[in-house]
A = this chain, B = another copy of it.
Amino acid sequence: MLQSLLFVPTLRETPKEAEVTSHKLLLRGGYIRQNAAGIYSYLPLAYRIIQKIENIIREELNKIGCSELLMPALQPKDMWVESGRWDVYGKELMRLNDRHDREFCLGPTHEEVITTLVREYINSYKKLPLALYQIQTKYRDEFRPRFGLMRGREFIMKDLYTFHANTEDLDEWYLKVRKAYCNIFDRLGLNYRIVQADSGQIGGSASEEFVVLCDIGEDTIVYSDQSEFAANIEVYNLSEGEPSPDGKGTIKHAKGIEVGHIFKLGTKYSDAMKAEFFDKDQSKKSIIMGCYGIGVSRLLMAILEQHNDDQKVFWPETVAPFKVHIISLGKEGTEIDNQARALYQKMLTKNIEVLFDDRDERAGVKFSDADLMGIPYRIIFGKKVDEGIVELKKLADNTVTDVKIEDIDFTNFL
């Protein structure tokens, strides 16, 4: 991609609205812009990262047998009355009337819609289990939206719902999804913890949060070492605390960003909304449910919070907006610029995700913009091009080496 055609409105100064580092960098780097309190546009750099996050989530969920669908944001009031949440959800639920004065809400979550969909079809234990997810825009009218993408009013979520004939099957799927979540957050390059959580307005019997540790977090987290999981998955320890001898875990407080939340819902929604099936013994039962969320747009911020040094950004390769950033310090038409363009073209033919800074800007501007973009490999075409040499900077280990253009190893960039 040519940088001149990418819309990256970088800022020299940090807007006052930003209080935390990742939010400052997202604004300064031209990743996001606020349209109204808690409502953002994801500009091309950010949206490329978000799409990579989404695809990692898809891969891991599809691998364990989940199917993707897309439900509407507009949800009719009657479903929420049926589940009993219309009156209890409060002001965080954005409500509106259509032209015929029928009441709707903008979904903060989709238990009502998915339960309505599934109850029509699931009439037998033979059609269970089922695991359905979507990646979708959600709405929550926060009283005081803040910290950029941390606490927004319109945000992107992945929500998965599973359906089971018995609690053993729910437990098995819960662990499968929990492991998939670990794979996802590992691939995203995150340092995170799994902690016991409050089920809040969603309801249900058991729930855990995936929390990315950092200073800006809002949650006070409680560490748990649940032995039922310990056999399957490494349980993370807070650096300041170790599990107590009884194996029940030690309680610690720390700050963190909640990026995932998994719930054993049980039959809360299927009881209220009559989602029932006939079991093997012909008895009628409520479908047992699980639900599992990931905050996709919030992850953009959480990853950045762990991948910056206050002034510079270094995205993990798995989500970086591009793999390679070619910067030419020569004006158009010079040998330096021609060589840079030639390498760019060659990389395009090899399907390398490469960004070429073709803008007519000073070197200082190009470098400071590049530092905010955090693309893993940077290749700088400068004075040594007449000796056939360029600078290769690898952000992950902060090394710069002179390399001959013909010696550049493309396999690193695929």
Chain A residues close to B by CB (< 8 Å): 1-2, 4-7, 9, 33, 35-36, 39-44, 46-48, 50, 62, 65-76, 79, 91-92, 94-96, 98-99, 102, 104, 106, 113, 116-118, 120-121, 126-127, 129-132, 137, 139, 141, 143, 153-154, 360
Q: Which of B1, B39, B42, B71 contacts A35 (CB 8 A)?
A: B71
With A96-B95, A130-B7, A141-B99 as given contacts, are A104 and B69 in contact (CB-CB < 8 Å)? Answer: no
Report chain B residues within 8 Å CB of A40: 72
CB of A153 within 8 A of CB of B74, answer yes
Min Cβ gap A96→B in Å is 4
CB of B70 within 8 A of CB of A73, answer no
CB of B7 within 8 A of CB of A72, answer no
CB of B35 within 8 A of CB of A75, answer yes
**Residue among A1, A5, A129 with most chain B CB within 10 A:** A5
CB of B71 within 8 A of CB of A41, answer yes
Residue of B at shortest CB range from A5? B65
CB of A69 within 8 A of CB of B98, answer no
CB of A65 within 8 A of CB of B2, answer yes
CB of A72 within 8 A of CB of B132, answer no
Min Cβ gap A327→B in Å is 18
Contacts A44-B67, A46-B69, A94-B96 given; 16 further ones with Cβ under 8 A? Answer: A1-B67, A5-B130, A5-B131, A35-B79, A36-B75, A36-B104, A40-B72, A41-B69, A41-B70, A41-B71, A41-B117, A44-B68, A47-B69, A47-B70, A92-B99, A98-B153
* 9 tightest Cβ-Cβ pairs between the two chains A and B: A96-B96, A9-B121, A44-B67, A36-B76, A42-B70, A91-B99, A41-B71, A5-B65, A39-B72
**Residue among A72, A75, A113 with most chain B CB within 10 A:** A72
Q: Compute how far the CA of A94 lies from the CA of B98 in the bound complex, rounded to whole angstroms.
A: 7
Q: Which of B7, B66, B67 contacts A69 (CB 8 A)?
A: B7
**Residue among A40, A69, A130, A131 with most chain B CB within 10 A:** A69
Report chain B residues within 8 Å CB of A76: 35-36, 39
CB of A44 within 8 A of CB of B132, answer yes
Report chain B residues within 8 Å CB of A46: 69
CB of B72 within 8 A of CB of A35, answer yes
Q: Which of B1, B48, B73, B130 contacts A73 (CB 8 A)?
A: B73
Report chain B residues within 8 Å CB of A131: 5
Q: Compute how far the CA of A76 lies from the CA of B126 in the bound complex, rounded to whole angstroms.
A: 48
With A98-B141, A99-B91, A130-B7 as given contacts, are A113 and B75 in contact (CB-CB < 8 Å)? Answer: no
Report chain B residues within 8 Å CB of A79: 35
Report chain B residues within 8 Å CB of A41: 69-72, 113, 117
Residue of B at shortest CB range from A77? B36
Q: Compute how far the CA of A102 lies from the CA of B1 in the bound complex, rounded to whole angstroms.
A: 40
Listed A/B pairs (14) with beta-carbon separation below 8 Å: A5-B67, A6-B67, A7-B117, A7-B118, A7-B130, A9-B121, A35-B74, A36-B72, A36-B75, A41-B69, A41-B72, A44-B67, A73-B73, A92-B99
**Residue among A92, A99, A102, A139 with most chain B CB within 10 A:** A99
Report chain B residues within 8 Å CB of A5: 65-67, 129-131
Q: Which of B36, B50, B74 contacts A139 (CB 8 A)?
A: B74
Residue of B at shortest CB range from A65? B5
CB of A143 within 8 A of CB of B99, answer yes
Report chain B residues within 8 Å CB of A44: 67-69, 132
Q: Compute how far the CA of A111 lies from the CA of B102 in the bound complex, rounded to whole angstroms.
A: 28
Q: Compute how far the CA of A72 lies from the CA of B143 in the bound complex, rounded to whole angstroms.
A: 19
Q: Compute how far the CA of A126 lies from the CA of B358 in the bound complex, rounded to whole angstroms.
A: 12
